[in-house]
Amino acid sequence: MKLGLTLGGIAAAAVLATAAQADKLDDIIASGTLRCAVTLDFPPMGMRDASNNPIGFDVDYCNDLAAALGVTAEIVDTPFPERIPALMSGRVDVGVASTSDTLERAKTVGFSIPYYAFENAVVANDKVEMTDWEGMKGKTVGATAGTYEAIWLEGQVKAWGEGEFRPYQTQADVFLALSQGQLDATVSTVEVAEANVKSGNFPGIRIVDKAPMVPDYVALFAMRNEYGLINYLDLFVNQQVRTGRYAELYKKWIGDGEPADLSIPGVYR
């Protein structure tokens, strides 16, 4: 009798202990939905189709991740400055939002290995004389607030000591301002620049030069302490490349050519 009670107590404690150990990965699988933060004004990574439904590289990537987990994906449209707050407030489970894995951000959230790498281009208004990236000196330039390229560009403007930097809230506002001639030039990822020039939505803009920046490696992110989930994300990114799905998505959304190399020679991780 006494033994039974003790055993029962141990069993109960064990059940409680396991319950307490259920982590985010378990929660996602149990809830049946994966909520991804995706930025939908960042073509071709995230955008909307004619009936205003989300599409793009990041949207597909989230769908793949959900499929791997055996759950349904829910795309939560999240502007760039809101990505990390959205995760911290528990509104989303992971970020699939072309997020640069900066050390400053890693103080707040946990990053997977890079799943994509951008090169950045300088895009200028047709009316502005500019032959290379240094032509931006002294001009009015802008980029999307809080992005990798915005931080770089603002630093450049400060270093040049002339010209003006304007951060807009969305990528679309930046290109709108550029097309209207309110900005002389902007720096954006080559993918976004090409998609926007090609779409014809923004008349009067052209790609001038590559920006001399370290490639912008972007990663998936989750809560900093959710190692189980981050481990899973790492393996998922690896599998996407291994199975050729990465190249397939590249071809579908960005076009022909070699997808960016995600490994960094000479160093681990």
Footprint of another protein (CB under 8 A): 40-41, 47-48, 50-52, 76-78, 81-82, 84-86, 88-91, 104-105, 107-109, 142, 145-146, 150-151, 164-170, 172-173, 176-177, 179-182, 201-202
Torsions phi, psi for 136 (to 5 deg) = -70, -15
Distance CA 240, CA 48 (A): 24
C-beta of 68: minimal distance to another protein in Å?
Answer: 24
Comparison of 193 and 260: residue with beta carbon closer to another protein:
193
**43 phi, psi to nearest 5 deg:** -65, 145
Least Å distance, CB 209 to another protein, is 23
- The dihedral through the CA atoms of 54, 56, 59, 60 has a sign that is positive
Token digits of residue 183: 């900005």
DSSP one-letter code for 146: T
Find out whether 119 and 212 touch, Cβ atoms under 8 Å: no
- Cβ closer to another protein: 112 or 186? 186
Q: Nearer Cβ to another protein, position 71 or 260? A: 71
3 state SS of 175: helix
- Written as one letter, the residue type at 204 is G
Which of 2, 107 has the CB closer to another protein? 107
Beta carbon of residue 43, minimum distance to another protein (angstroms, whole number): 9
Which secondary-structure segment (H or E) carries 104?
Answer: helix 103-106
Minimum distance, C-beta of residue 167 to another protein, in the bound complex (Å): 5
Question: Contact, 120 vs 210, CB < 8 A?
Answer: yes
Closest approach, Cβ 106 to another protein, in A, equals 10
Residue closer to another protein, measured from CB, 99 or 240: 99
Distance CA 133, CA 110 (A): 33
Check: CB of residue 197 under 8 Å from CB of residue 149: no
Nearest distance, CB of residue 134 and another protein, angstroms: 23
Of the pair 1, 50, the CB lying nearest another protein is at 50
What is the dihedral angle through the alpha carbons of 256, 262, 263, 269, rounded to the nearest 10 degrees?
Answer: -170
Q: How far is the CB of 90 from another protein (least distance, A)?
A: 5
Nearer to another protein, 121 or 177 (CB): 177
